[in-house]
Chain A
Amino acid sequence: MAKDVSRFFLDSNVILDVIERRKNESIMLLEYIREAKLFCCTSSFAHAELVDIEQEFTHITNMLGKRFTLNEILRARKQKRLILEQRENAIDRVKDFFKQYRIETWELDEKGWSTVIEVLRDLNVKAPDSIHVATALESGCTFFVTNDEELGKEVKKKIKWVKPSQALDMLKRT
């Protein structure tokens, strides 16, 4: 794999692995991409998803601190009750991360949204994933990096799917 033509689209789960420092392969891949100054991007929708997830983590942590049961937490999962400072902190975590790893954010235009519908016609994916796939295609990415196997199996009909560990292996071999 020639490094200069490697353009990586990062699914939100891979970025989350690194923000939360929960998966070594994802951390190593992003470190490698940064060091080698390779192109990597994600969709503007993924950006918003990540802020939402970060806020959800804070919300759940708050509830755990208040000794709510797991059932109560799950029931109230979608009822975010954060103060402004907590919401802003979540935004800052994502913002700092994107800056640190130089991840570009790409947004679809009119033609790109047609591709979203095309993706929904051709693949069995949900709407948020169709936005990611269309952004990957329209931004000229050569690899779609995700840990989600179900999504990956569908995505590979349109674009090469790699898990973070596979992407890292390929990059190290070249």
Chain B
Amino acid sequence: MLNSEENELHVKEEEMPRKKTKVSSYKRRKPSGARKTVSVRGYSRGAKKITIKYPKRKTRKK
């Protein structure tokens, strides 16, 4: 008797519909939350700051 009740309970848990969590398209893109480009006071983000990696000098600086 006890066993069948437990089973019933178990089945009920499984049948419970899983709550769907809505993941925004933004989070799907970048889970870290960091943006690829910088938004500045509502300006469209069509540019980003870059750091130019200069090649190492082949000649000695005088």
Contacts and interface: CB of A to CB of B under 8 A. Distances in A.
A35 B52 CA distance: 23
B24 interface: no
B12 interface: no
Interface string A1-13: 0000101000000
Given A84-B59, A106-B49, A139 B40 contact: yes
Contacts of B48: 106-107, 109
A130 interface: no
Contacts, number: 69
A66 interface: no
A112 interface: yes
B52 A105 contact: yes
Interface of A is mostly: helix
Contact of B46 (A7, A88, A105, A112): A112
B25 interface: no
B2 interface: no
Interface in B36-51: 36-38, 40-41, 43-51
Interface in A123-160: 134-135, 137-140
Given A41-B49, A105-B49, A106-B49, A138 B43 contact: yes
A81 interface: no
B53 to A, nearest CB: 11
A114 B44 CA distance: 12
A41 B58 CA distance: 29
Given A7-B40, A95-B54, A105-B51, A111 B59 contact: no
B47 A106 contact: yes
B49 A88 contact: no
B57 interface: yes
A95 B54 CA distance: 8
Interface of B: 36-38, 40-41, 43-52, 54, 57-59, 61
